[in-house]
Amino acid sequence: MALDILAMAPLYQAPAITRIGPKTDPSKRPADPLKPLVPSRTKLTTIEAKRIMSILDEAINKVELVTLLSHVASNREDVEGVLGEDIMRAVREHEDLCQVLLENVRCLKEKERQLQEQEEAEEEGWLRDRLLSIELQKSSLSPLTQQIKDSTKNVLRLLLSNPQAARLLQMQTQSRSAEAQNFIDSLIELRGFLFEKLVTSPMEARDKAQFIQDINRQNSNNQQIIDTLENELAERMKNRNAEKKYKVETEIENWIQKYDTEMGEKQEELEDLEAVHREEKIALEELKRRHKVLVEEFVQIREEREINSKKRMEAEQEMVRMVRAATLIQAFWKGYLVRSLLRSKKKRGKGKAKGKEKGKQKGKEKDKGKK
């Protein structure tokens, strides 16, 4: 069955770097603390059990080979010298069949998609013809599937007849897809369960069933105790929460009363401060008004002082000009007197005899004029 399933799978699969776990080895199984669940035997004793395990091991081995055919098909040049011409020819035939199957499946899905999109808009006759075509294509898949199964069996037969080639192919575990590896892991896990079932005697099976039943009963009793304890805990938590809630409500009420009292006091204090603020605001307005008047008076006084200072400076400048003018006049007058005196001396030198008296009289008049 497993071989048939893998024969239907697509040949090309995405590679996944995984490692195949080793088959379960009962002799190396770790000690289990649940002794009644561990079989006393570690080896198969009956021929029937050995045959069953042999068939399953052979199936796992074949599955491991089949899941690597995609790697062989995509790396022909690398493995052709290892696997041989017969195996490579069988793999190529198997690849061609798989490609035909994949193409047919793709076309079938495309037709079904188109049918779903157009089944409401097209006529009934067209739909009937399209459904008939789809059914015919589905029926053609069955022979192709059988050919792929036969091709898979042929490739396996050639690989099993060449143990060295099979071993070399099984070493390419990193080329196996993740889906295929998961399937192999499941088969290996199934082998472990089956081996444990086969090495377990009927008496051990009864003891195991009884042990599991006792465990379940004990678990049920423990669960009842846990439920009872959880109910008690929930009830106590409920009561505790009710007490935590009452205390919190009382504390909140006390805080609210304290808040109201403090806020009342703060409100009174605020009203007093507002009254003081209003009075100070009125006083401030009055001071501003006075300050404005004083500023105006100061400006007026400063302007008057500037005017007076300007007049005083102009008077001082006028006085300086007058002093300079008087000095200039005096200097000019002195110069005039000196020149007049010199002219009179010159005249006197010419005619001293004419009148000494007259000269003296003139000198007295000059002295008076100087004073």
Q: Quickly state the pLDDT bin for 8 (edges 50, 70, 90).
A: very low
- The yes-or-no verdict on residue 128 having pLDDT over 80 is no
Segment 121-134 shows an average pLDDT of: 65
**Residue 59, in any domain of the structure:** yes
- The residue length of the chain stands at 371
- Within 10 Å of residue 351's Cβ, how many Cβ atoms? 9
Tens of pLDDT, residue by residue over 44-84, are: 778 888 888 888 888 888 888 888 777 777 776 666 666 77
pLDDT value, residue 20: 33
Q: Quickly state the pLDDT bin for 225 (edges 50, 70, 90).
A: very high
pLDDT value, residue 6: 42
**Residue 163, in any domain of the structure:** yes
Range of the domain at 64: 2-203
pLDDT value, residue 136: 74
**Residue 145, in any domain of the structure:** yes
- Within 10 Å of residue 12's Cβ, how many Cβ atoms? 15
Segment 236-243 shows an average pLDDT of: 82
Residues 6 or more apart whose Cβ sits within 8 Å of residue 204: 39, 40
Alpha-carbon gap, residue 297 to 289, rounded angstroms: 13
Q: Is the pTM of this model over 0.85?
A: no
Sign, CA torsion 271/273/274/275: positive
Segment 25-32 shows an average pLDDT of: 47
Name which residue leads in pLDDT, 254 or 358.
254
Which stretch of 27-31, 73-77, 179-183 has the lowest confidence by average pLDDT? 27-31
**Residue 102, in any domain of the structure:** yes
- Within 10 Å of residue 56's Cβ, how many Cβ atoms? 18
**Residue 258, in any domain of the structure:** no
> Which tokens is 125 given?
């006759």
**Residue 313, in any domain of the structure:** no
Write the burial class of residue 115 (CB in 10 Å: 0-12 exposed, 13-18 middle, 19+ buried): middle
**Residue 171, in any domain of the structure:** yes
What are the distances in angstroms from CA 300 to CA 131, 290, 296, 340?
Answer: 114, 15, 6, 59
Tens of pLDDT, residue by residue over 154-167, are: 888 888 887 887 78
Q: Name the phi and psi angles at 28, rounded to 5.
A: -105, 15
SS3 30: coil
Task: State the total domains in the chain.
Answer: 1
Alpha-carbon gap, residue 42 to 27, rounded angstroms: 6
